[in-house]
Amino acid sequence: MLTVIHTADLHLGKNRRYPDYLEQQGWMLDAIVRLVVERLRDPTDQVWLIVAGDIFERNEDTNREEVTLFMMRLLLPVFQLAQAHPNFFCFMIDGNHDRQPGALPSVLSPFDGLSNSQVVIRSKQPLHLPEHRLLLVPFDDYREAQLHQLIARHPSQFVVFHECLARMQTDTGYSPPRDQDDYIEVENLIEGQVVGMFVGDIHRCQPLDSRRVCWYSGSPVTHDFGHRLPKGVLVHRFVKDGRDLWVRDQEPELVDLPDDRIRSHHQLGRILRVDDIPMEFLRGFKSRYLNLTVTPEVYQAIDRELPEFFHGPTVSYEFDRAEPTEVVDETLDDTVDQGAILRWIDDNLVELAGDERDDVRARVFQDFSAR
């Protein structure tokens, strides 16, 4: 038996707006490692951990704490498990976020040299591992023909890559047009011997081809707005056939990370009218992260009804303009000056306490300045 534990899109360093984001991401990594340990109970089975890219959120500003988190809570346990279990292997590649902006080396590039016979980290240039019948393809903005040639040149049963594919669907329901050459039609990539393609980039678990060979694992937790449950880690199982080739034993299983400390995220989007506020939902909201985009009027209405709502550690919000109405008129045009904005706030948000009004003033003006 070969068990492949397939995950991607960890995005370490995301959601810095929350004070406990490092704790949350640490618990996520711990839960992934525990899942690996559970699958290593039978010493005769092979177990692979595949992390298919976007381990970090951004190359440009990844900080020391986030790199340390990766090293101590994922990389070190992986090397320890490899020492203790000769049938355990780990394969990691980078994704587009690991090297953003693209001109810079990947965040993973310093770790390439740590690779050994059981733990392989690849941040650039494809790598064929014939002993595993495996092809690792770090992100490089491939077109379909290029990726097809690469797979044909290195015959493998398993392929790991990080790209956006046609037929996929995001959590918010978007699917790219079939005729858009930036996207890859996965049906054209699968050679006859390929039985497993393990992909990253899109945060929703799904198969991408009619034979159900190619899979996005999705991200393991809801760490971004727009994400929908279920989330988790995808577990694939393969067995040897009479020709000593791997064949899929059963449909992969999406296994959640059973740690109640990990918060899920929820987004209500843009609430532009006071009448649209889901007050009952907000009143009962607890134990998850919430992202809101509100107008100053909506902020005032919620704050009046739920005075502590905006001041807790799990609610993140930003301001947006409403559509023009009798109340919100041309004085909130993009072209107005600082004085006009601040006068409008003072005239309309009279029920807010002074320090809260100052916070609104700063946020609104910052938003307009950014525009």
Placement of tokens 């699958």 in the chain: 39
Q: Name every residue whose Cβ is closer than 8 Å to that of residue 350 and which is 6 or more positions away in sequence.
A: none
E strands in 189-344: 196-200, 206-207, 214-216, 233-240, 246-255, 265-271, 289-294, 315-319
**Mean pLDDT, to the nearest integer, of 223-248?**
90
Worst-scoring range by mean pLDDT, 138-147, 176-185, 255-264, 320-329?
320-329
Report the alpha-carbon distance of residue 13 to residue 318 in Å, rounded. Answer: 20
- The pLDDT tens digits of the residues spanning 250-299 come to 999 999 998 988 888 887 777 878 888 989 888 887 767 888 888 888 99
- Closest C-alpha among 234, 225, 238, 212 to residue 8: 234
Lookup: tokens for 298: 């909506």
Place of tokens 């050994």: 116
Residue 321: predicted pLDDT: 62
The predicted pLDDT at position 366 comes to: 67
Residue 337 pLDDT: 63
Report whether pLDDT(164) > 80.
yes
Q: Is the pLDDT of residue 180 over 90?
A: no
What does the pLDDT average to over 23-34?
A: 96
Amino acid 349: pLDDT? 76
pLDDT band at 193 (very low <50, low <70, confident <90, very high): confident
Question: What pLDDT, in 10s, does the model give residues 5-20?
Answer: 999 999 999 988 888 9
Residue 35's contacts (CB-CB under 8 Å, 6 or more residues apart) are 5, 233, 235, 255, 257
pLDDT tens digit sequence for 122-143: 998 999 999 999 999 999 888 8
* Beta strands, E only, the chain: 2-7, 46-52, 88-93, 119-122, 127-129, 134-137, 158-162, 196-200, 206-207, 214-216, 233-240, 246-255, 265-271, 289-294, 315-319
- Write down the architecture of domain 2-255 according to CATH: 4-Layer Sandwich (3.60)
Percentages helix, strand, coil for the chain, rounded to the nearest 5? 30, 25, 45
- The confidence score (pLDDT) of residue 213 equals 95
User: If pLDDT is split at 50, 70 and 90, which confidence band does 326 have?
Assistant: very low
Read off the pTM: 0.81
CA-to-CA distance for 29 and 47, rounded, in angstroms? 17
Place of tokens 């595949």: 50
Which residues, other chains included, contact 289 with Cβ-Cβ below 8 Å and sequence gap of 6+? 15, 18, 263, 264, 265, 266, 314, 315, 316
Closest CA to 8 of 139, 128, 148, 181: 139
| pLDDT tens-digit series, residues 39-82 | 998 888 899 999 999 999 988 888 999 999 999 999 999 999 99
List all residues 6 or more positions away from 253 whose beta carbon is below 8 Å from its beta carbon. 234, 235
pLDDT at 161: 95
Phi-psi region of 204 (alpha: psi -120 to 50; beta: other; left: phi over 0): beta
pLDDT given at position 328: 43
Return d(Cα 146, Cα 324) in angstroms, integer. Answer: 49
What integer pLDDT is reported at residue 318 of this predicted model?
82
Tens digit of pLDDT for each residue in 331-364? 444 455 666 777 777 777 777 776 777 777 777 7
Q: Which amino acid belongs to residue 276?
A: D
Confirm if 35 and 255 have CB atoms less than 8 A apart: yes
- Listed by start position, the domains of the chain span 2-255, 265-370
User: What pairs with residue 129 in β-bridges?
Assistant: 134
Q: In the predicted model, what is the mean pLDDT of the chain? A: 87
